Amino acid sequence: MWRFLLLKGTTSLLKVVDPKFLHQRPFSSLCLRLVTQRLIYKPPEAPQHVISLRCTGYLFLESGTRSYKKDAKSTVDFPVNPITVTDIKQYLRSKDIPFHDGYSCLHIPSIFISSSAGKDSFSLFIDKTTGQFLCKDTLVEGTWEDLQDCLEVMQKEGQEFLSPHVLLGYPESVEEQEERARELSEVQRIWSSSVPLTDLPEDKAQLIKTMFQITKISNATLKKFGVRLFKPTKSLVFPWFSGLDSSIKGVKLVSAQSTDSETVTYNEATVPKWSSYYNLFGLPLVGRMDSEVVLTAHELDTLAVSQATGLPSVALPRGVSCLPPVLLPYLEQFKRVTLWMGDNIRSWEASKIFSRKLGLRRCSLVRPGEYHPCPRDGLAQGRNLSRIIKDSIPAAHKSIVSFKQLREDVYGELVNTEQVAGVKWSRFPELNRILKGHRKGELTVFTGATGSGKTTFISEVALDLCMQGVNTLWGSFEINNVRLAKIMLTQFAMQRLEENLEQYDYWADNFEELPLYFMTFHGQQNIKTVLDTMQHAVYLYDINHVIIDNLQFMMGQENLSVDKFAVQDHIIGAFRKFATNSSCHVTLIIHPRKEEDDRELQTASIFGSAKASQEADNVLILQEKKLVTCPGRRSLQVTKNRFDGDVGIFPLDFNKSSLTFSAPVKGKHKLKKVPVKPENEEVEENKVTAKKDEVKKDKTNKPTKTPRSVNNPATGNETITK
């Protein structure tokens, strides 16, 4: 069912950053499409509804200081016509192309290599959900339409295979090439000035290991995985080797910082930047015949698993925050995948979600718990890692379970009450006090009088969560995405950027790094199309929070002839089901019915039948009358809280220049100086120190990154208690 819904993906998504596919690949799907279209003289497709903040982001054009420039690389293709795995199979059969039905992909012989080069290896992978393909032999990738085009060309011209080099004739733009070259030289500079840990004197190496709490990781393991030390900042460097030549494509720098005697904070930075860092760390060490793998959320965990068990292990590039589908072909060879994502509820939830993408039947999960810490801690504590992996539980659900099977889940919830309560807001402590946190799989209904500030408030509430790594998708049916992004960016910067245009790029660069996506719908939309798009986004970006602003605009007026309440009830039911089935929080903004001007809103004021408040886990009301003494002030009332029943109300202070409702921030934001280009190691030290600082947050949760950001401040940090 889940996959069936996913298969209906649509074109209507937009991202603030460029979610590029595997960076090492020589061809972009766009590039490939251009070529194939040219080959078979097909007119170009209609423009996709996908742009990045860099395109939407020229919010202050009126000043005349900037000119709009389309960034071709920022577009990401989504299937114009949703495809199903049945469609793909039928097409392949019609072309007499043999295929293997894999876990997440269909495997076919590559059309980019000659048969003498091993065509029976079935090395071309087609994602069953999106149709996106990857040839692992040549690293050619593209959309399902691209592949069909290629096959048509081959058939028409009677060719046995297509040369990938033909496709190379359409290079990236000069700007893209320069950007890539810059990143690569930065990677090479860091890599070449790093030293293998094994080259350090024993006492120094031991000191570093103590700093990172990896004293049990042997030199041999560090050497095997190519882990180095970047001396100036004492950062561990994890390499990303890839491409046909297995050359260095990127690095992840991890530095340790002692905040007090009890805790160590690890700061991470990647080059290329976070959003295009697609390293499955450990992949080069996996043998072609290996059929089992342990998937972890951190490079150090992979080192621990490999050393302690001898099993192949790979680490996800962005930890528990997402499993990008572009990595799925690389995991197809494994008959058994053990997901050991960490030691908390978030990692447990992530492992359940990822196992759906990987195919439930081959996945087993290590449940976090007292005796199941994360692998690196397990190794440090002398636990038997092989045993823990052996005891992992199958991911596939049984339809009927007994309490015996549930008791561990229940126990987990009892001992981790804080984590079970969800992600805490950093700007809204009062929301934490009442709701306890933001949880997956819930439905929040939010209402407030017309023009009272619903969009503005919920924008900040969602931004707060997004800055903490909650992957967010906006469905803004009333105001356009540029206006919405402008509101969010202002809230992010906490200041009027119109008056500080020189800071625009700084804040936009940081904002781009957030896991934030927008649906490009505007005005009335069919609920099925909206749900299909949401499913598609969940598959591609592991979305945790969807905001629908607002239900009335999405429904439009056309339903006036039918029972409007019944239609609304149906839609609310569909969102409820989506939230539960996709483990995704849905926030639904619904206008209230017309109330007397001097009356406060209540749960019963929500437009429509009682269905909305019945289905909702949380009901939030933006009050602007009576309850607050000062005119113009608002308060936020929670009238339903299914999690623990606490309800309440608290005042909101609106700041017109920053468009924020959260408490004003003390002190002025200052821009950090960007270190000059490094000439020698001393300067290099400054640079990487700055990068390390980039991922830290100050007490106000304001990211202090330099303009050349390399990491997502929200998701890049972790704190470990000794």
Ligand X SMILES: Nc1ncnc2c1ncn2[C@@H]1O[C@H](COP(=O)(O)OP(=O)(O)OP(=O)(O)O)[C@@H](O)[C@H]1O
Binding residues for ligand X (CB under 6 A): 448, 450-456, 478, 550, 632, 634, 654, 659
CA distances from 495 to 281, 453, 489, 657 (A): 39, 18, 9, 6
Write down the least CB distance from residue 491 to ligand X, Å: 11
Nearest one of 692, 686, 707 to 269, comparing CA atoms: 692
- 248: phi then psi, degrees, rounded to nearest 5: -75, 125
Write down the least CB distance from residue 625 to ligand X, Å: 12
Nearer to ligand X, 459 or 712 (CB): 459
Write down the least CB distance from residue 587 to ligand X, Å: 13
Write down the least CB distance from residue 453 to ligand X, Å: 2
- Cβ atoms within 10 Å of 629's Cβ, excluding its own: 7
How many residues can be counted in the chain? Answer: 722
CA distances from 709 to 502, 507, 508, 698 (A): 17, 10, 10, 16
At 358, list the tokens.
Answer: 């990987």
Beta bridge partners of 622: 448, 636
At 274, list the tokens.
Answer: 């976070």
Cβ-proximal residue to ligand X, closest one = 453
**Beta strands at 648-652 and 634-641: parallel, antiparallel or unpaired:** antiparallel
Residue 523 contacts residue 716 (beta carbons within 8 Å): no
Torsion of CA 192, 195, 198, 203, to 10 degrees: 180
Nearer to ligand X, 235 or 660 (CB): 660
Nearer to ligand X, 99 or 607 (CB): 607
Write down the least CB distance from residue 593 to ligand X, Å: 13
Asked if the bond preceding 550 is cis, omega within 30° of 0, the reply is yes
Write down the least CB distance from residue 58 to ligand X, Å: 21
d(CA 573, CA 615): 7
At 629, list the tokens.
Answer: 């003494």
Nearer to ligand X, 12 or 455 (CB): 455
Residue 75 contacts residue 33 (beta carbons within 8 Å): no
Write down the least CB distance from residue 461 to ligand X, Å: 12
At 322, list the tokens.
Answer: 């997402």
Nearer to ligand X, 456 or 618 (CB): 456
* DSSP secondary structure letter of residue 601: P
CA distances from 548 to 212, 425, 459, 611 (A): 43, 20, 11, 17
Nearer to ligand X, 249 or 454 (CB): 454
Nearer to ligand X, 378 or 453 (CB): 453
At 311, list the tokens.
Answer: 């099993």
Write down the least CB distance from residue 426 to ligand X, Å: 20
Write down the least CB distance from residue 10 to ligand X, Å: 25
Write down the least CB distance from residue 637 to ligand X, Å: 14
Nearer to ligand X, 60 or 170 (CB): 60
Write down the least CB distance from residue 549 to ligand X, Å: 7
Nearer to ligand X, 100 or 599 (CB): 599
Nearer to ligand X, 129 or 456 (CB): 456
Write down the least CB distance from residue 514 to ligand X, Å: 20
Write down the least CB distance from residue 552 to ligand X, Å: 9
Helical H runs in 164-201?
164-167, 174-192
Asked if the bond preceding 272 is cis, omega within 30° of 0, the reply is yes
Q: Which amino acid is at 198?
A: T
Nearer to ligand X, 56 or 452 (CB): 452
Write down the least CB distance from residue 459 to ligand X, Å: 7
Write down the least CB distance from residue 458 to ligand X, Å: 8
Nearer to ligand X, 357 or 545 (CB): 545
Nearer to ligand X, 446 or 578 (CB): 446
Torsion of CA 68, 474, 711, 139, to 10 degrees: -80
Nearer to ligand X, 382 or 631 (CB): 631
Nearest one of 162, 178, 143, 111 to 31, comparing CA atoms: 143
Helix axes 481-493, 454-466, angle to 10 degrees: 60
DSSP codes, 651-673: EE--BTTTTB-SPPPSS---PPP
DSSP codes, 94-107: HTT---EE-SSEEE
Nearer to ligand X, 368 or 453 (CB): 453
Write down the least CB distance from residue 452 to ligand X, Å: 5
d(CA 660, CA 652): 9
d(CA 581, CA 599): 37
* DSSP secondary structure letter of residue 398: P
Nearer to ligand X, 93 or 496 (CB): 496
CA distances from 135 to 73, 107, 139, 193 (A): 21, 10, 5, 34
Write down the least CB distance from residue 481 to ligand X, Å: 14
Beta bridge partners of 516: 472
- Cβ atoms within 10 Å of 210's Cβ, excluding its own: 11
* DSSP secondary structure letter of residue 502: G
d(CA 351, CA 235): 28
∠ CA 539-272-332, nearest 5°, is 40
Nearer to ligand X, 392 or 455 (CB): 455
Nearer to ligand X, 445 or 659 (CB): 659
Write down the least CB distance from residue 423 to ligand X, Å: 23
∠ CA 21-22-24, nearest 5°, is 135
